[in-house]
Amino acid sequence: MAGKRGFGSIRRLPSKRYQPRYTGPDGLRYTAPHTFDTKLDAEGWLTDVRREITADTWRPAGAAPPKYRTVGDYAESWLTARTLKPRTTEHYRQLLDRLILPTFADTAIVAVTADGVRRWHTSMPPRPTQRSHAYALLKAILRDAVDDGLIPANPAHIRGAGSARRAHKVKPATLAELAGLVEAMPPKYRALTLVAAWCGLRFGEQVELRRKDVDLSAGVLHVRRGAVRTKTGISIGGPKSAAGVRDVSVPPHLLPMLRKHVYDHAAPGREGLLFPAGHGGTLAPSTLYKVFYPAREAIGRPDLRWHDLRHTGAVLAASTGATLAELMARLGHSTPAAALVYQHAADGRDAIIAAKLSELANPKG
């Protein structure tokens, strides 16, 4: 005969001893490893089990203590175990400290619920990109917790929460604007501006180019490294992704100016930086912006960001009829989705396409 109670149940065996049973946090049914002389003793055992569950110290009989009891413990180990770019590590650290751990640091991993994740996501500041990055990071951490056997399923499953619409609508520079921008820049920065736009290099890739990476006879830039600025200083490593290691052909019309720049402004020696700072070291974004901001004002484009020049390069390359694969190779992207971020309809291109469609309908001759 079994007696019902608020937590678990107790049955009296034919031997007249009492056997308690309960359902654990993992959803499985457990029976006490031994029986009791009195029902009161069995109830006391169930009370002790319930306290363990409430305090998150419960574990199945014979199981090892969990290595990570809280989200905070697991997240710290998760971040330490990963080999990431310095900027990525810094970014994840900020997301954890500012947005994730204030809510979940002391929460037992097994206690994280879909409801709790939704409430946390709703309570975050209304900054779409930051929210999506924080959610994606928490989801990745919890996904690995599932793989490690700490939780049965990932409670982070809010549709679309890991992506955000681009907050800044990019308007690539026109050829006339680009020419005006170059003219407004000091001579030392003109080649840098042209390479950003016509070759589509990232700023970190540009400032790590060295004389040995420039093949003027073949008209090729060998992109092999990238500079990343973090709170602790400048870190030199590989480009943003494996696909970032590439050779980029320089449009022939840029070669005379690039050749002159190497002669006038590049640091000496094969290891000399192509676009050095005034002190000879790595050029900082803040130094560039001191001349770039007035130049963009001069052409009436105060909205133009330096990174938008890379978008401009993508549009110019696309307007030549380059395939997606060719654009991916030129921009240093490993996935089509990444390359498509930089695709925009070049002004006047649609009219050209329409004209070519008419040629198909009415072929000459």
Residues marked active site are found at: 202, 307, 310, 333, 342
Task: Mark 159-191 as b/e (b = at least 16 C-beta within 10 Å).
Answer: eebbebeeeeebebbbeebbebbbebbeeebbb
Q: What is the Cα gyration radius of the chain?
A: 31
More confidently predicted of 58 and 362: 58
More confidently predicted of 276 and 320: 276
The domain locations on the chain are 2-54, 71-147, 175-349
Q: What is the mean pLDDT of residues 160-186?
A: 83
Residue 165 has pLDDT above 70, yes or no: no
CA dist 188 to 164, 260, 305, Å? 37, 10, 19
Residue 361 has pLDDT above 70, yes or no: no
Provide the residue type at 281 as one letter: G
Q: Which CATH number fits domain 175-349: 3.40.50.2300, 3.40.50.720, 1.10.540.10, 1.10.443.10?
A: 1.10.443.10
Residue 18 has pLDDT above 50, yes or no: yes
The pTM is what?
Answer: 0.62
Q: What is the pLDDT of residue 320?
A: 78
Work out the number of other CB atoms within 10 angstroms of the CB of residue 158: 14
Q: What is the pLDDT of residue 191?
A: 96
More confidently predicted of 171 and 180: 180
Q: With bands split at pLDDT 50, 70 and 90, how would you rate the model's confidence at 92?
A: very high
Strands 220-223 and 214-215: antiparallel
pLDDT tens-digit map of 180-214: 999 999 999 999 999 999 998 999 999 999 999 99
